[in-house]
Amino acid sequence: MAQDSAQLPAQKTKDAVEKFSNAPATVGKVFQDMTDAAKNKRPQGLGGKAGPEDKAIAGELEPKIKKDAAPAGEHAAPQITRDPFRPMNLRTKTAPRARENLSPLERFELGQLKIVGIIWDLKEPRALIEDTAGLGYVVKVGTPMGSNDGTVKVIRRNEVIVEEFYEDARGEKRKRDVSMRLSTE
């Protein structure tokens, strides 16, 4: 009796391991039985005839096999997820234009740039802009500047006005004029 009780836990463990290893096969068989039953039940409900629609539905019940690669003509559309913290009535962001081959002035925010000097007595006034590294750039009206697609709009005696784009709270793109004053230090 002592030996039977000593072998009993080991036997239970062995039985549990066998059941666990057979579980995937059992689940697969149950799934196959369910799809077979669904295939057989569908034509009987329509009077015993299986039409083309029934074959299509039966095909939907079969497990799907993933394709390795999409055919050359088809392109998978990227899945766009909406920000759950923005209202539904706001427009979704459009893809910004490609910002390649940017000038050094377009890589900086306007707040990182400083006006060092303005040449005013010319037909086209010019301004000397300095970046955070201490490098200087000469700009005139129409020069692209700033990371928000800004351009120099007006150069006055003591300031440069840059017109740039920004996105408002509704997600709409708007223009604004940013004034950069000549520092008198």
- Average pLDDT value for residue range 130-159: 92
Q: Of 8-22, 69-83, 113-127, where does mean pLDDT reach its minimum?
A: 69-83
Residues linked to residue 138 through DSSP beta bridges, in sequence order = 128
Quote the Cα angle for 91-97-99, to 5°. Answer: 135
Q: What CATH number should be reported for the domain whose range is 104-181?
A: 2.30.30.830
C-alpha to C-alpha distance for 159 and 181, rounded to whole angstroms: 4
Cα 98 to Cα 18, 133, 139, 149, 158: the distances in Å are 59, 26, 23, 11, 34
Instruction: Label residues 2-12 b or e (16+ Cβ within 10 Å = b).
Output: eeeeeeeeeee
Q: Does 124 or 4 have the greater pLDDT score? A: 124
pLDDT (tens digit per residue) in 81-115: 777 787 777 665 555 555 678 888 888 898 899 99
For residue 119, pLDDT over 80 is answered with yes
Contact 80, 117 (CB under 8 A): no
For residue 138, pLDDT over 90 is answered with yes
- Average pLDDT value for residue range 107-136: 90
Determine what percent of the chain is predicted with pLDDT higher than 70.
65
Contact 70, 148 (CB under 8 A): no
Q: Which of 129, 131, 133, 110 minimizes the C-alpha distance to 118?
A: 129
C-alpha to C-alpha distance for 178 and 145, rounded to whole angstroms: 11
Give start-end residues of each CATH 2.30.30.830 domain in the chain: 104-181
